[in-house]
Structure 1
Amino acid sequence: VAEVLSKLLIIFVVGISVREPCAEQLGPTPSDQVRKIPLQTRGMGAKTTLFQSLPSSETGLDFMPQFPQEAPFRLLTDQAAGCGICIGDFDLDGNPDVYLTHYDRGNRLYRNMGDWRFVDVTDQAGVGGKGRWCAGAVFTDIDNDGDLDLFVCAFNAPNLLYINEGQGRFRERARDHGLDFSGASVMMTFADYDLDGDMDGYLVTHRLNTGRMAKLPKSSKEAFQRGLIQVNPQRQASIGPRYRELFETMSKGPGRVELFIAGQRDYLYRNDGSGRFTVVNDPAGITGNHIGLAATWWDYNEDGFPDLYVSNDYRGPDQLWHNNGNGTFRDVANTALPYLPWSSMGADLGDIDNDGHTDFFAADMRGSTAARRKTSLDDMRKDKWFLEFARPRQSRRNMLYRNTGTGRLMEIAHLTGLAATDWTWTPKFGDYDNDGRIDLFIANGMTRDFMNLDASTTGPSAR
Structure 2
Amino acid sequence: MSRQGTGKSATISKAFALTSNWSAILALSAVSVAAIQLKSSTGQAPKMQDARITVRYTDIRQSAGITFRQDSTQTDEKYYLETMGTGVGWIDYDQDGLMDLYFVQSAATDIYKPPHPLHSALYHNNGDGTFTDVTEKAGVGGEGHYGQGVAVADYDNDGYPDLYVTGYGRAILHHNNGDGTFTDVTAKAGVADEGQWSTSAGWFDYDKDGWLDLVVTNYIEWTPKTNLWCGERRPGYRSYCNPGNYKGQKTKLYHNNHDGTFTDVSDSSGVGKPESKGMGVVLADFNNDGWPDIAIANDTWPNFLFINKHDGTFQDVSFISGLAASEDGRYEAGMGIDAADVDGDGWQDVYVTHLDFELNRLYHNNRDGTFDDYTYRSGIGNKAILLSGVSMKFLDYDNDGWPDILQLNGAMLDNVNLYHSEVSYKEPLLMFRNLGKGQFEKVSDSLGPGFVRPIAGRGLGTADFDNDGDIDIAINNRGDFPELLRNDGGNLNHWLEVLLIGTKSNRDGIGSSLKLTSEGVTHVEQSKGGMSYMSASDPRVHFGLGKRTKIESLEIAWPSGQVDKLANVPVDKIIAVKEGVGIVPRNFPRVPNK
Secondary structure of the corresponding residue to residue 400 of structure 1 = strand
Secondary structure of the corresponding residue to residue 407 of structure 1 = coil
Q: Which residue is equivalent to 2:187? A: 175
Alpha-carbon distance, 1:138 to partner:
1.6
| Separation (CA, whole Å) in 1 of partners of 2:265 and 2:376 | 38
Summarize the alignment of residues 94-243 of structure 1 with structure 2, pairs less than 5 Å apart: 94-104=97-107, 105-156=118-169, 158-182=170-194, 183-210=196-223
Tell me the alpha carbon deviations over residues 420-458 of structure 1, each in whole angstroms, 9 at most, x when there is no partner: 3220011111111122221111000126366668459xx
- Inter-CA distance 211–446: structure 2 relative to 1 (3 Å threshold): closer
Q: TM-score, normalised by structure 1?
A: 0.68
- Inter-CA distance 116–197: structure 2 relative to 1 (3 Å threshold): same
Give the structure, 1 or 2, with the largest relative contact order (CA under 8 Å, sep 6 or more).
2
Determine whether 1:413 maps to 2:375.
yes
| Deviates further, 290-299 or 164-173 | 290-299
| Separation (CA, whole Å) in 2 of partners of 1:133 and 1:435 | 40
Determine whether 1:295 maps to 2:281.
yes
Q: Which residue is equivalent to 1:330? A: 315
Determine whether 1:399 maps to 2:361.
yes
- Inter-CA distance 453–79: structure 2 relative to 1 (3 Å threshold): closer
Could you tell me which runs of 5 or more consecutive residues in structure 2 were left unpaired when the two chains were aligned: 1-47, 108-117, 230-241, 422-594
Determine whether 1:43 maps to 2:45.
no
**Radius of gyration: which is bigger?**
1
Q: Percent identity?
A: 31
- Inter-CA distance 142–96: structure 2 relative to 1 (3 Å threshold): same
Q: How many residues align?
A: 342
Secondary structure of the corresponding residue to residue 68 of structure 2 = coil
Residues 97, 112 of structure 1: 8 Å contact kept: yes
Partner AA of 1:282 in structure 2: D
- Inter-CA distance 210–425: structure 2 relative to 1 (3 Å threshold): closer
Determine whether 1:354 maps to 2:344.
yes
State the superposition RMSD in angstroms: 2.7
Summarize the alignment of residues 283-322 of structure 1 with structure 2, pairs less than 5 Å apart: 283-286=268-271, 287-314=273-300, 316-322=301-307
Alpha-carbon distance, 1:210 to partner:
4.1
Q: Which residue is equivalent to 2:408? A: 443
| Separation (CA, whole Å) in 2 of partners of 1:214 and 1:429 | 36
Partner AA of 1:133 in structure 2: Y
Residues 287, 347 of structure 2: 8 Å contact kept: no
- Inter-CA distance 409–262: structure 2 relative to 1 (3 Å threshold): same
Residues 83, 413 of structure 2: 8 Å contact kept: no
| Candidates 55, 69, 80, aligned match of 1:77 | 80
Determine whether 1:59 maps to 2:64.
yes
Residues 363, 371 of structure 2: 8 Å contact kept: yes
Q: TM-score, normalised by structure 2?
A: 0.54
| Separation (CA, whole Å) in 1 of partners of 2:415 and 2:376 | 25
| Separation (CA, whole Å) in 1 of partners of 2:418 and 2:371 | 34
Determine whether 1:272 maps to 2:257.
yes
| Separation (CA, whole Å) in 1 of partners of 2:83 and 2:310 | 32
- Inter-CA distance 117–40: structure 2 relative to 1 (3 Å threshold): farther
Alpha-carbon distance, 1:130 to partner:
2.5
Tell me the alpha carbon deviations over residues 328-358 of structure 1, each in whole angstroms, 9 at most, x when there is no partner: 1121121111644511111111111122222
- Inter-CA distance 69–409: structure 2 relative to 1 (3 Å threshold): closer
Q: Which residue is equivalent to 1:392? A: none
| Separation (CA, whole Å) in 1 of partners of 2:308 and 2:315 | 7
Tell me the alpha carbon deviations over residues 143-191 of structure 1, each in whole angstroms, 9 at most, x when there is no partner: 11111111111212x3111111121011111010011122211121110
Secondary structure of the corresponding residue to residue 51 of structure 1 = strand
| Separation (CA, whole Å) in 1 of partners of 2:99 and 2:359 | 34
| Separation (CA, whole Å) in 2 of partners of 1:305 and 1:140 | 18
Q: Which residue is equivalent to 2:96? A: 93
| Separation (CA, whole Å) in 2 of partners of 1:417 and 1:40 | 20
| Separation (CA, whole Å) in 1 of partners of 2:49 and 2:142 | 44
Partner AA of 1:347 in structure 2: I
Could you tell me which runs of 5 or more consecutive residues in structure 1 were left unpaired when the two chains were aligned: 1-37, 217-246, 249-258, 368-395, 457-463
- Inter-CA distance 329–438: structure 2 relative to 1 (3 Å threshold): same
| Separation (CA, whole Å) in 2 of partners of 1:207 and 1:111 | 34
| Deviates further, 416-425 or 91-100 | 416-425
Secondary structure of the corresponding residue to residue 59 of structure 1 = coil
| Separation (CA, whole Å) in 1 of partners of 2:101 and 2:380 | 30
Partner AA of 1:100 in structure 2: F
Residues 427, 442 of structure 1: 8 Å contact kept: yes
Residues 98, 110 of structure 1: 8 Å contact kept: yes
| Deviates further, 60-69 or 353-362 | 60-69
| Deviates further, 103-112 or 351-360 | 351-360
Partner AA of 2:128 in structure 1: D
Residues 80, 293 of structure 1: 8 Å contact kept: no
| Separation (CA, whole Å) in 2 of partners of 1:352 and 1:330 | 25
Alpha-carbon distance, 1:310 to partner:
1.1
- Inter-CA distance 307–260: structure 2 relative to 1 (3 Å threshold): same
- Inter-CA distance 454–39: structure 2 relative to 1 (3 Å threshold): closer
| Separation (CA, whole Å) in 1 of partners of 2:302 and 2:308 | 19
Tell me the alpha carbon deviations over residues 214-238 of structure 1, each in whole angstroms, 9 at most, x when there is no partner: 879xxxxxxxxxxxxxxxxxxxxxx
| Deviates further, 144-153 or 334-343 | 334-343
Partner AA of 2:90 in structure 1: I
Secondary structure of the corresponding residue to residue 267 of structure 2 = helix
Residues 79, 184 of structure 1: 8 Å contact kept: no
- Inter-CA distance 449–128: structure 2 relative to 1 (3 Å threshold): closer
Q: Which residue is equivalent to 1:239? A: none
